[in-house]
Amino acid sequence: MADDQEVAVARAGEDADSARALLERLHDPARVLALSDGVFAILITLLVLEIHVPELTQGHSLNQALREVRPSLVAFVISFILAGMYWVGHRDLFALIRRTDRGLVWLNVLYLLPLCLLPFAAGLLGRYDQEPVALRIYGLLLVVIAVMRVVMWLYATNRPHLLWQRLDERQRRAGLAVNVVPGLVYLLAFLVAVVAPGVSLLIYAGVPVLYFLSITVLRGSRKRDQEFADFT
C-alpha cells in the first residue's frame, strides 16, 4: 500500500511535471518570433513591388529615369528604415521576454496588423507624395503602430513572470518614452499634412535621422544603463 501511494505521488509528480512542460511549450516565444521575423522580412521585401518599372524611351537619360521613380524610391527608403526600426525595437523588447502568454501572443498579432499595411501606405505615398490625404493616411498608420508598441511594452513589462528579469520603474518609464515620443511626432506629421504637406514628408524622412543621432548620443552618455539605452 505504501508502494501504491508512492506510485500515486510519483504519478502526480509526473503529471505536474508534464503539465509544467506543456505550459513551457505553450509559453515558448520561439514561434512568435518566427512569425514576426517572417512578417518583417516579407514586409521590407514587398515594399519594392510599389516601385514600378518606368517607361524608358530611347535617348532617356539615367537621371530622367531615376527622377521618374524618385517619389516611389523615397517612400521605399523611408518605409524600409521605419520597418527596420520597428524590427530592432521588437528584437529589443523580446530580449527581455522569457515567456509569452495568450495576451502577448495576440497583442503581437494585432501589432503586425497595421505593420502589414505599410506597403499599401508606402505605395500611396510613392504615387501621391504631394497629396495631404496620402500623407495623412501614412501618418495615421504610423500612429496606430506606435500605439500598439506602447500597449505591448506596458503589457509585457507589467507582468514580471513573463520577463527574464523585473524592470524597475525608471527603466519602464524610459522604455515607454522611447515608444511614445515617435508616436507623438507622427501625430504631429498627420495633423500638419493638410496645411503643410512638405513639412509632413520631412518629418517622416527626418525621424530615422534623429533616431540614429539619438542612439549615438544615448550610447555615449549612458553606457551603464544598458537595458533601456538598448531599447531605442
Q: Which of 12, 16, 22, 202 forms a contact with a copy of itself (CB under 8 A)?
A: 22
Minimum CB separation of residue 10 from a copy of itself in Å reads: 16
Task: Give yes or no for residue 56 binding a copy of itself (CB under 8 A).
Answer: yes
Instruction: Name which of 3 and 93 has its Cβ closer to a copy of itself.
Output: 93
Q: Which of 106, 170, 202, 217 forms a contact with a copy of itself (CB under 8 A)?
A: 106
Strand-pairing partners, residue 163, are: 97
Cα distance between residue 221 and residue 231, in whole Å: 15
Contact set for a copy of itself, span 118-147 (CB under 8 A)? 118-120, 123-124, 127-128, 131-134, 136-137
Minimum CB separation of residue 173 from a copy of itself in Å reads: 18
Cα distance between residue 130 and residue 201, in whole Å: 9
**Cell numbers for 223:** 553606457
Q: Could you tell me where the DSSP H helices lie in the chain? A: 2-27, 30-46, 62-96, 102-116, 118-127, 132-157, 169-192, 197-221, 226-229
Instruction: Name which of 206 and 208 has its Cβ closer to a copy of itself.
Output: 208
Cα distance between residue 142 and residue 149, in whole Å: 11
Minimum CB separation of residue 30 from a copy of itself in Å reads: 8
Binding residues with a copy of itself: total (CB under 8 A): 77
Do 191 and 136 touch, CB atoms closer than 8 A?
Answer: no
Strand-pairing partners, residue 97, are: 163
Task: Give yes or no for residue 183 binding a copy of itself (CB under 8 A).
Answer: no
Task: Give yes or no for residue 29 binding a copy of itself (CB under 8 A).
Answer: no
Q: Which of 6, 18, 202, 222 forms a contact with a copy of itself (CB under 8 A)?
A: 18
